[in-house]
Amino acid sequence: MLETLELGRAFGPVIALRDLNLKVYGGECVALMGPNGSGKTTAAELISGLLEPSTGWVKVQGYAVHDEPTAIEARARLAYVPDTPRLYDDLTVLDHLHLVAVAHGTATDDLEDRCWDLLERLGLDERADFFPPQLSRGMRQKTAIACALIRPFSLLIMDEPIVGLDADSVEALRQVVLECRADKRAVLLMTHSDEFAASVATRTLRIVEGLVGR
């Protein structure tokens, strides 16, 4: 599902990530673990296509993420939950799900049912008509997760997804990851939580100062 080769990114003299060689297969959840500032978010943004690499490349199901026109195919196959939710202040929680579904061509007849199933599962059903400024940090995080799950994907990338979540929401997310694995989809998880990683990951990698080891 995912392959990177010598993937790296420098910001001036600072090397945020160096020589990331990674393969993630369908049915796997790989946890990339490390402290704040270790390079996890840089890796997530490079793999999702939000950052251009200084070195190396990324492919999703054989499509290069940073080369046109294959980038369109690659990005259509991945869903990304950033470490800080990126939401529109003038759209409700439900509006966000509608927008993402329409953008990815999945606004089918069962869209409302799928939206409400997700909202209930993540504990957002009573906040469906709320706008992001009215939501807590955890509720905004769950909205970002719902936006990722409402669209089709083969690879799910999540950067510190449990920050701000209560215990019930963490359990709901754990079940989502396990279902992705059962469906032979791939998950790349950036986290500093040993406990959550141990409950979902098939493999764990450590990253320190931009360099990944086992």
In the predicted structure, residue 23 carries a pLDDT above the cut 70: yes
CA torsion sign, 204 to 85 to 126 to 179? negative
Query: What rounded mean pLDDT belongs to the chain?
Result: 95
Q: What pLDDT sits at residue 72?
A: 94
Q: In angstroms, how far is CA 58 from the centroid of its own chain?
A: 15
Q: Say what angle helices 137-149 and 93-103 make with each other, to 10 degrees.
A: 20
Sign, Cα dihedral of 179, 162, 58, 86: positive
- pLDDT tens digits, 51-98: 999 999 999 999 999 999 999 999 999 999 999 999 999 999 999 999
Average pLDDT over residues 165-183: 96
Question: Please, what is the angle between helix 137-149 and helix 111-121, to 10°?
Answer: 140
Domain residue ranges in the chain: 1-77+154-214, 85-152
Find the angle CA(49)-CA(183)-CA(162) to the nearest 5 degrees: 60
pLDDT band at 213 (very low <50, low <70, confident <90, very high): confident
Which residue would you say has higher pLDDT here, 214 or 4? 4
Percent of the chain's residues with pLDDT above 70: 100
Helices (H), the chain: 40-48, 70-76, 93-103, 111-121, 137-149, 167-182, 194-200
Q: Which residues of 80-98 are buried (b: 16+ CB within 10 A; e: fewer)?
A: bbbbebebeeeebbbebbb
Please determine, for residue 214, whether its predicted confidence score (pLDDT) is greater than 70. no
The rounded distance, in Å, linking the Cα atoms of 71 and 20 is 19
Please write the tens of the pLDDT for every residue from 99-156: 999 999 988 889 999 999 999 999 999 999 999 999 999 999 999 999 999 999 999 9
- pLDDT for 35 equals 86
Mean pLDDT within 35-45: 92
CATH annotation of 1-77+154-214: 3.40.50.300
C-alpha–C-alpha distance, residues 78 and 24, integer Å:
13
